Amino acid sequence: MKKYSIVLVILVGLFGCGDDYYPVDEDGLLITDRAECFVSNFELLDTDYQTVRTKNAVIDTVAQTIDVEVRWGTNLKRLWPQFTLVTDAKLDPKITDWTDFTDISSPREWTVISGNRKVKKTYSVNITIQQLNP
């Protein structure tokens, strides 16, 4: 019986009984105290999971825009955007499938939500196509 009491004490010590834990959101992600909310990097991949960018994306965290130039001839119908976010932030909507960027006159939008889930910033992704030199 003494052996089980020791195990119980160890488990309580490891996992605690207090309120010093972080709750989780509807996606099972931790809700933290972090209020930061921004995109730090952006990638755009084709169906071969290779970049279609001609240069680094320009991310403006004040205007909340991402400008990216893609190679001439890129199939804009099936691209996979990848966002690198500040710690504990999440993206809405989630990217679960290929994204259609064929209407380059209408930027696609994603919202970055802070770790504390109180700050939300919507970023517009603007695509331009590389111009060929005559």
pLDDT tens digits for 91-119? 999 999 999 999 999 999 999 999 999 99
Domains (ranges, CATH) in the chain?
Answer: 23-129 (2.60.40.2340)
Closest-CA residue to 61 (of 40, 83, 43):
40
The least confident of 7-16, 40-49, 122-131 is 7-16
**Percentage, residues of the chain above pLDDT 90:** 80
Q: What is the mean pLDDT of residues 16-40?
A: 84
**pLDDT surpassing 70 at residue 61:** yes
Q: Quick one: pLDDT at residue 1?
A: 52
Amino acid at 37: C
